[in-house]
Structure 1
Amino acid sequence: MRRAGPFFAALALAACGPLGGSPAPDLATAPLAGAAIGGDFALTDKDGKTVRWSDFAGQWRIVYFGYTFCPDVCPVDAAAIGQGLSAFEKAEPDLGAKVTPIFVTVDPERDTPAVVGEFTGNFHPRMVGLTGTPDAVKATAKKFAVWFEKGEPTASENGDAGYMVGHTNQTVLFDPDGNPIALLPTDQGGAAVAAEIAKWVR
């Protein structure tokens, strides 16, 4: 289940302009320049260590909120992020090393540090998986303009009770100062993600 507010919907197309070999655009004119997205947090990585937004200072960041039990959308988006960054790293090794992909769960009840770490490891070796207490996740999501909501319990094929989590489905690129720059078109696949990264990361 995905949900995107009008703010993000209006910017989705703006983030996918022509690329080519043009020089890097002025970040002040980026689609998300000046948007109130992002902020410090205290979450937990796969090793149980506390991770803060400030820990990524100096790095470009790709941020996605999802959950590991998501049946279709989240794995596809995570794969596009991983494939896109890998392609960019191959073309621009030095620049690629300055980009960190971050996956934040919206389902902390099931997504333990180990579960999130195993999930993100399937998509890119440097993808950082983060979880935390329900309150910490909720506060972080709010800072990043992400909506999420736990659905009603549903019975699986083996009879176990489960549930879906509806959430904002957007992938945001942040600059080394932690400012939002543009949406990455994960719905268009890894090649499109790589092209959009190359447009901004110079």
Structure 2
Amino acid sequence: MPILKIIRYGAWGAVVIVAFAAAAITLGWWRVDGPGRPSSGGSVSTPLADVGGPFTSTDHTGRKVSQADYLGKPTLVFFGFTHCPEVCPTTLFELTTLLGKLGADADRLNVLFVSVDPERDTPAQLSLYLQSFDPRIVGLSGTQAEVDAALKAYKAYARRIPTAEGYTMDHTASVYLMDAEGRFRSLIDYHEEQDSALAKVRLLLKR
């Protein structure tokens, strides 16, 4: 399986993501039988609480939300921004296709698009942008402090990069798969084969 890919311009982001990805097993599924102990079957043991956690945000309808609002269902989390030229629209299109293939099971999932560009990504901007994708995808933004807290909780990377036109954002490009209790279970890599991504999500729904 390809290691977690990111669009990276900074060495700091590369170090964090490579270290994070190095703990993944062949299919990206992590298990813990106890804190710091190897799990049965040879899987790499990593405390699930290390990825994910409390956050507050505002969704694309203007409603104030927190991670508690999405517990009870497995959740797919993707960090990006609406001015993204390729990675974000491609990933959201692939998630839209995946939800279509799941059929009625798609209603048993939360799918969150968390903006790393709160300066431009207001709820109104997110709402307009998400009209091109599956309506079950929820856009989240907030203050810079709220975005930074979410990035830290998920060990995700984002950095503002100046350009001739203004700026763009360098960011983690994989989708986090969280179970119904908010625990990290897997990653969908950028441009991962649809069959592989679909299998991971179906396994997540069975847990």
Q: Place the TM-score, normalised by the shorter chain, in its bin.
A: 0.7 to 0.9
> Offset of 1:109 from its aligned partner?
0.6
Name the counterpart of 1:124.
134
Aligned ranges 1:18-29 → 2 under 5 Å: none
Q: Flag as ranges the 4+ runs of structure 1 deviating above 4 A.
A: 25-33
The whole-number CA distance in structure 1 between the counterparts of 2:202 and 2:195 is: 11
Letter in 2 for 1:120: L
Q: State TM-score, norm by structure 2.
A: 0.79
> Offset of 1:114 from its aligned partner?
1.2
The whole-number CA distance in structure 2 between the counterparts of 1:12 and 1:69 is: 30
Name the counterpart of 2:98.
84
Q: 1:64 aligns with which of 71, 78, 82?
A: 78
Name the counterpart of 1:52.
66
Name the counterpart of 1:176.
180
Q: Does 1:135 align with 2:145?
A: yes
> Offset of 1:68 from its aligned partner?
0.7
The whole-number CA distance in structure 2 between the counterparts of 1:177 and 1:58 is: 6
Name the counterpart of 2:169.
165
> Offset of 1:196 from its aligned partner?
1.7
Comparing 180-189 with 139-148, greater Cα deviation is found at 180-189
Gaps of 5+ in 1: 18-24, 156-161
Q: Does 1:2 align with 2:7?
A: yes
Name the counterpart of 2:110.
100
Q: Does 1:198 align with 2:202?
A: yes
Gaps of 5+ in 2: 1-5, 9-13, 34-38
- TM-superposition CA deviations, 1:53-101 (whole Å, max 9, x none): 000110100000001101011111111122112211x2xx2x3321111
> Offset of 1:164 from its aligned partner?
1.1
Name the counterpart of 2:11.
none
Name the counterpart of 1:145.
155
Name the counterpart of 1:21.
none
Name the counterpart of 1:14.
26
Count matched residues: 185
Comparing 68-77 with 8-17, greater Cα deviation is found at 8-17
Name the counterpart of 2:36.
none
